Structure 1
Amino acid sequence: MNSPARIAVLASGRGSNLQCLLDGIGSGQLDARIVGVFSDKPGAAALDKVAPELRWASAPKDFDNREAFDQALADAVAACNPDWIICAGYMRILGTGFVERFNGRLINIHPSLLPLHKGLHTHARAIEAGDAEHGASVHFVVPELDAGAVLAQARVPVLPSDTPETLANRVLTVEHPLLLASVALLVTGRITEQDGEILCDGQSLLRPLRLDSAGVLVG
């Protein structure tokens, strides 16, 4: 019998996506265990969701340069021997060295329908662009910001009355089930990435999987 997948989580804030993974593990939806939570914000609420021995946090300003912080973070992540590293609300751009060290095992959830609206302030930008739909994407991380292969997406409508806050709240309702369903596929080996191409059950994924109303990823 296979051991549960080992997952490391990077988070900068309250940890709602981390809680989603913890809930999925607790309910049996996700055959995994959280082996470390890492943050660039020592006061991040996400850290409080796991036992003290699973926490690592340090402020980048305490290091001589960006590369030194990334090296310390990467060494700490590697020490817990994760199968997967999930960026779940991690707001700092990861350097090339970090990304390449964990190539093919590093996943991010981004609040937009990539390739639209890479980077920050995605909800405001979707409204300003007049988008009819918005949503969230789960993708493999590459050195270029939010440019890795997308494995799954969830969509929500953009309403005429929306503000960035109301739209963000609507996206959050699909973001959590999207992340849980995506990680569940990853840990079983059904989803892999090869040279920038997503494979699902060994077949090339021509477009991202989508989250249906039951919280299931479909082609």
Structure 2
Amino acid sequence: MQEHAVTALLNLSIRDENKGNIVSSGAVPGIVHVLRTGSMEARENAAATLFSLSVVDEYKVTIGASGAIPPLVLLLNEGTQRGKKDAVTALFNLCIYLGNKGKAFRAGIVPTLMQLLTEPGGGMVDEALALLAILASHPEGRAAIGTAKAVPVLVEFIRLGSPRNKENAAAVLEHLCAGEQHHLSEAKELGIMEPLADLAQNGTDRGKRKAAQLLEQLSRFFEQQQEGSGTGTG
């Protein structure tokens, strides 16, 4: 019964005028219950419904508070391609709200996203990088991404990714390097300078901006290193 109800709610939620009625009627906890316990198809429909509802800013809080984030991360891990897409788009919307980011980190979202970035086929790369770029602005996110040994993966996307992926990879790396100089050192050793210079010239507007910020960070880092080595030998 619940599974049919979620399918009906999904169809209703597509229309903007229905979203408020669904949330105000108290349906969100039931949708989350199906997301946790339903069949794979029902879980996917529940995720798609939450994605549809989470377009509205005020509902991001309601959905996050209802415990939706851990089962969405789980679906992102083990769903079909469609389920993963629904989960990642819902999580993207939800994580725009700062209060939901911590919930996502605690649910293990960063290792899951890193797995999506490196899996063969790469069908989820665009979404995973876009979500990482949102999460990287949070201190907890930076720490988790750093722990996940993301720098080589990000450098590779800056080198070989699509324009959008280069942009998002640079955004993640810029956040990562802002607080931790060893990430700058690692990126330099991995040969980031040339692809970064190319991105600064030829990327999207945001890609150019992020590349320029990273190049500036690297430049400052080199200067500090040279000053340090200069005082050491003097």
User: TM over 0.5: same fold?
Assistant: no
Greater Cα radius of gyration, structure 1 or 2: 2
- Which of the two has greater strand per residue? 1
- Which of the two has greater helix per residue? 2
Larger RCO, structures 1/2 (Cα 8 Å, 6+ apart): 1
TM-score (norm 1): 0.28
